[in-house]
Structure 1
Amino acid sequence: MPLLIPNFSNRYADLPNAFYSLVDPQPLENSHWIAWNSVLAEQLGLPENQPTGDLKYFLSGEGDYQATPVLAMKYAGHQFGSYNPDLGDGRGLLLGEVTSPTGQVFDIHLKGAGLTPYSRMGDGRAVLRSTIREYLCSEAMAGLGIPTTRALGMLTSDTPVYREKVESGALLLRVAESHIRFGHFEHFFYTNQLSELKLLADKVIEWYWPECLKCDQPYAAMFATIVEKTAHMIAYWQAYGFAHGVMNTDNMSILGQTFDYGPFGFLDDYEPGYICNHSDYQGRYAFDQQPRIGLWNLSALAHALSPIIDKSELEQALSQFEVILGKKFSRLMRAKLGLNCKLEQDSQLFNAMFELLHQNRVDYTRFMRELSNLDTQPIQNVSDLFIDREAANAWLELYLARCECEVDEEGQAISSETRCEKMRKVNPKYILRNYLAQIAIDKAEQGDFSEVEALAELLKHPFDEQPDKDAYANLPPEWGKKMEISCSS
C-alpha cells in the first residue's frame, strides 16, 4: 500500500526493540472528526480540509499500517517524586513522522488508541473532555508563543469509556518535534541498559542538536541544551500564569516544550500557591513550585545520564538553570510591563506588584492587559481591580514614573502609545480559562461542538482586540475560579 502522507517515516522504529513495542491501534466505533487544525495541517503539508477515505482511516487508527510500523514508546519516570518503572505509552501510539515542506520533522501521535503493553490497569482510551482540553490548551499556548506540542485534529466516537461515569471515547492527533521524555533516559539507566542509553543520547543529538557534535563533550552539550530549553519553558509558564499540574519526569520533553496536558490551569486571581490538580494533596506542583520542580526533574535526568556525562559537567549545567530561568523571566516580565532598560529599583517595583496582586486577589491576565491600555483608558480601570485602591494608586504612580525613564535607541523618550502598543502584543486579552473550557466540554457532550470551534479560533489570536468576542475576556464566575481538575482521562 503506498504511503498516504508524503515524506512519512518512523525513525524511532529503526531503533532496537528495547525502545518500544509494535502495536496496532484499536479502532473506535463510528469515529468522526470534531476538529481539524487546517492551519497546522497546511504547515505540515497535509490536506487543509478534514481528511476522508483512507487518510482518515489511517489517522484515526483504522488503517493499514504495514508500510509504516506503529509503536508505543517505553519509558519510566518519577511521579510525584517516586520512581515508577512501569510506564510507557499506555494509551497513545506514534504513527510516524512527517517532514514538512520547510524540511522540519514532526511526530504524529494518536492519543486514545487503545491498549498497549504499558497500559497497566488502564483501558488505553481517552475521553472527550480531556481530549478537548488538550486540543484547546496546546493551541492556546501556541497562540501565546509558549513552547508546546500541538494538536492536529480531534475525533469522537460511539465507543463507551468508563470513568466516574460513562463517557465517549475520543482521539487526539498530537504533533511534536519529539516525544522523547526525561523518562526515556531514566528507563535505560535504572534497568542498566547503558548501551541503549548511549544510543538514545546519540540519536537525540543527531536528530535535534547536531551542533553538539562540534563540542568537546557532545553529551554534556546536549544536557546543557535540555537545561536551557526547560528553563525557558518554565519562565514562560511563570510569566503567563500557567500551571501544568503534573510535572512528573515522564511528562517532561527533552526539547523544553509543554507536554501532556492534564489538570492544567491558567491563574485567575493571582495566587502563587495555586494548585490546579485535585490529586496534588501536598502542592508539589503548585504554580510557584514549578521552577523548583523543573530543577528537581533535571537533576533526576542528570542522574540518569551520569554513565555518559562527567559529574562536574552535569553540576555545571544544573547550576545554570536558575540563572537562565531568571534572565528569561525578567525579559518576559519587562516586555509585559513595557520596560526595556534595567534600573536598580526595578526588582523592588516588580516584587511590590506581585505582592499587591496577591494581597488583593487581582486577576493576573486582566491586570496585565489593563496596564497595556493606559494610552487609551483611564488609570482607574487598573486601580478598580484592587480592593486596596490607595495602595494600587501608589504603585501605579511609581510605575508610571519608572516608564518615563524609558528611552529608545536614539535616546528619545518613549511615548505611552508606543509602550502600550508593544505591551498589547505580549499581554493577552484572551486565555483558556478553565471555566471556558468546561462550558465547551458541556456543550460538546451534548453533541454541540460549536463552542470548541469558537474557542480554538479565538485563542489563535489572543493578543488581538476581537470586539465581537469581548465576553470571552470577562472575569470568571465564582464557580469557575480555581477549578481543580482531575488527571482522569
Structure 2
Amino acid sequence: MTIAFDNSWARDLPGSFLRVPPDAAPAPRLLALNRPLAADLGLDLTDAQARDWFSGAALPPGADPIAQAYAGHQFGGFSPQLGDGRAHLLGEILTPDGRRFDLQLKGSGRTPFARGGDGKAVIGPMLREYLISDFMAAMGVPTTRALAVVATGEEVWRETKLPGAVLARVAASHIRVGTFQFFAARGDQEKVKALADYAIARHYPELAGADAPYLAFLDAVIARQARLIAEWMGLGFIHGVMNTDNMAISGETIDYGPCAFMEGYAPGTVFSSIDRQGRYAYANQPLILGWNLARLAETLLPLLDRDEGRAVEIANDRLAGIAPRYRAEWLAVMRRKLGLAGEDAGDATLAEDLLPAMQGADWTLTFRRLDDTAALRPLFEDFSRMEAWLPRWRARAGNGAVERLAKANPAVIPRNHKVEEALAAATQGDMAPFRALLAAIRQPFTESEAYMLPAPSGFGQYVTYCGT
C-alpha cells in the first residue's frame, strides 16, 4: 500500500523546521503495530512495511521528513530554541474521510535540535507511550496515539546499555504553545500570525470568519485544554512534564514521558525523577494549565489589538476566566464519576468533601465501589470520614447510580506495577505481558482482577524517567 501524504506544514510554514532524514535502523524488528488505529486511518500496512517505514530503514513514498522548531518553558525556565531533537515528522496523513494527522517518528536519530542528546530512544519508554495513549483513547480522552513500535537492533546508553526502539506517533498536529513561543521570542510577528492562521485552519476552521479570530482561537484553546486537564484529574493521571512545549494547541495529550496514574489519593503525588519541587504534582496540574495558557496569550498580544495596553487587558480578561472554566469542567467530570444524574447546587460541595475523606484510598477503585460499602471499606485505613460522607452521596445519587458508576469509572487502568512488569519483560524480549496488559486496558470497564488491584506493598515509591 501507499500512504496519502500532504505535507502542508513543510509547504506553508517555511522557517519553522529543518529537513533532515531519520537514521536507518540497522536491524529493525516490529514489536507492536496498532492495527485498530491503522484501520481508522485507512492504512492496510503489512508487518514489513511497518517495520521498515517506522524505523527509518526506508521512507514511505511521499514522506518529507522534517524536524520541527519550537521553544518552551521547561520547569518554569525559558529555552528560546528546543525543537525535535530526536523526532522526524514524516508528513501528514490524509484519511479516506478527509481527516489530517501528523505521522512522526520518535527516537529516530539526532537532528540539529538535539542539544547534545543521542537522538535515540529505548524500548521501555516507547512501549509506555503506546500503552498509556491507547488507554487514554479507550477512555475518550483526546490524545496522540502510538501507531507502532519498532526495535532498531541498536544498543543505547542510558544508565546502562538498553535495546533501542522507534515509536511511530500519530497526532492531530504537533503544534505546541512552544511553537508560538519560538517565533514570538524572535520578534517575528509575521510568523506568529502565519502560525495562528495555520492552526485555525487546521484545528478550528469554524473560527476563520470570526470578527476577532485570534481571540476566538485563544478562547478555543483554553476551552479544550480546560476540558483535557479535568479529564486527567478524573483519571488520577499525572503527566509529569507540563512544560509549554508539551501543551498541544489541538487539545490532545502529548509526550508521555515520566507519566503515571495515582493509586492512593494524595494531591501532592509526583512520579517524575526530575520534578524535585513538585511543580507538576497532581494537584498543581490545573494551576499549570493557567500558567501555560498565559504564555500562549503573551505570544498572541499583537494579534489581539494594535494597542498593547488594550491587548493586555483583553488577554487578562480571558485568562481570568480559566479557573472558573476549569472548575466547571472538573465538576462535570466529578458528577459523572459520582454517578450523579443532572445538576444540583450542592454537587460541588459533595465532590470537594469527598477528597479529604478518601485520602490515601485507591483513587480508581473508590469511585468504582461507591455503591458497595463492603468492598469499599478495605481500601481505607480509617473509614470514619467516608462513612459519614456516603449517606449524603446516596441521597443525591438516587436510582440508577450503580449503572452510572460502572459506565463512568474504569475497572482497569495502566497500574504502575503492571506497566513496569510489561516493560521489563519486553526489554528482555518477552512481549506477552505487554500484549496482555494492552488487551486489558483497551477494555477499561471490563473487570479483570489480575489488572485491577493496587500495587503490592513491596512495590515501593514509584519513580518515572523522561527516557531521553
Per the shorter chain, which TM-score range?
Answer: over 0.9
Cα distance 1:445–1:349, how it changes in 2: closer, same or farther (>3 A)? Answer: same
**Secondary structure, aligned partner of 1:35:** strand
Cα distance 1:131–1:96, how it changes in 2: closer, same or farther (>3 A)? Answer: same
- 2:76 corresponds to: 81
Cα distance 1:197–1:472, how it changes in 2: closer, same or farther (>3 A)? Answer: same
Retained in 1: the 8 A contact 2:28–2:52? no
Retained in 1: the 8 A contact 2:54–2:167? no
**Structure 1 residue 88, shift from structure 2 partner:** 0.1
- 1:408 corresponds to: none
**Secondary structure, aligned partner of 1:159:** strand
- 1:365 corresponds to: 364
Cα distance 1:104–1:480, how it changes in 2: closer, same or farther (>3 A)? Answer: farther
- 2:429 corresponds to: 447
Which region of structure 1 is more displaced relative to structure 2, 315-324 or 116-125?
Answer: 315-324
**Secondary structure, aligned partner of 1:384:** helix
1:54-453 pair list within 5 angstroms: 56-64=51-59, 67-310=62-305, 311=311, 312-358=313-359, 361-371=360-370, 374=371, 378-404=372-398, 415=399, 418-453=400-435
Retained in 1: the 8 A contact 2:67–2:88? yes
Q: Distance in 2 between matches of 1:230 and 1:480?
A: 33
Q: Distance in 1 between matches of 2:325 and 2:67?
A: 34
- 2:438 corresponds to: 456
Retained in 2: the 8 A contact 1:268–1:481? no
**Structure 1 residue 158, shift from structure 2 partner:** 1.7
Q: Distance in 2 between matches of 1:319 and 1:440?
A: 43
**Structure 1 residue 421, shift from structure 2 partner:** 1.3
**Secondary structure, aligned partner of 1:340:** coil
**Structure 1 residue 345, shift from structure 2 partner:** 3.2
Retained in 2: the 8 A contact 1:234–1:290? yes
Retained in 2: the 8 A contact 1:268–1:482? no
**Structure 1 residue 86, shift from structure 2 partner:** 2.6
**Structure 1 residue 474, shift from structure 2 partner:** 1.2
Cα distance 1:451–1:50, how it changes in 2: closer, same or farther (>3 A)? Answer: farther
Q: Give the counterpart letter for 2:374 in structure 1.
A: Q
Q: Give the counterpart letter for 1:22 in structure 2.
A: R
Retained in 2: the 8 A contact 1:91–1:125? yes
Retained in 2: the 8 A contact 1:234–1:291? yes
1:475 corresponds to which of 449, 454, 466 = 454
Cα distance 1:195–1:348, how it changes in 2: closer, same or farther (>3 A)? Answer: closer
- 2:308 corresponds to: none
**Structure 1 residue 157, shift from structure 2 partner:** 2.5
2:25 corresponds to which of 14, 22, 28 = 28
Cα distance 1:240–1:65, how it changes in 2: closer, same or farther (>3 A)? Answer: closer
Cα distance 1:297–1:479, how it changes in 2: closer, same or farther (>3 A)? Answer: farther
Q: Deviations 1:41-65 (Å, cap 9, x if unpaired)?
A: 0000111x64325x64223212246
Q: Distance in 2 between matches of 1:86 and 1:189?
A: 11
Cα distance 1:236–1:64, how it changes in 2: closer, same or farther (>3 A)? Answer: closer
Which region of structure 1 is more displaced relative to structure 2, 314-323 or 160-169?
Answer: 314-323
**Structure 1 residue 10, shift from structure 2 partner:** 1.1
Q: Deviations 1:191-232 (Å, cap 9, x if unpaired)?
A: 112211111111111122111122111111111111111111
Q: Give the counterpart letter for 1:51 in structure 2.
A: D
Retained in 1: the 8 A contact 2:133–2:146? yes
1:40-51 pair list within 5 angstroms: 40-47=37-44, 50-51=46-47
Retained in 2: the 8 A contact 1:336–1:427? yes
Retained in 2: the 8 A contact 1:434–1:480? no
Cα distance 1:379–1:282, how it changes in 2: closer, same or farther (>3 A)? Answer: same
TM score, norm. by length of structure 1: 0.91
Q: Deviations 1:170-204 (Å, cap 9, x if unpaired)?
A: 01111111111000100000011221111111111
| Count of aligned pairs between the two proteins | 462
Q: Distance in 2 between matches of 1:66 and 1:15?
A: 20
Retained in 2: the 8 A contact 1:75–1:184? yes
Structure 1: gaps (5+ residues): 405-414
Q: Deviations 1:312-343 (Å, cap 9, x if unpaired)?
A: 33223222211221111111110111112333
Q: Give the counterpart letter for 2:455 in structure 1.
A: P
Identity of aligned pairs, percent?
38
Q: Deviations 1:264-289 (Å, cap 9, x if unpaired)?
A: 11111000010111211111000000
Q: Distance in 2 between matches of 1:480 and 1:150?
A: 29
**Secondary structure, aligned partner of 1:334:** helix
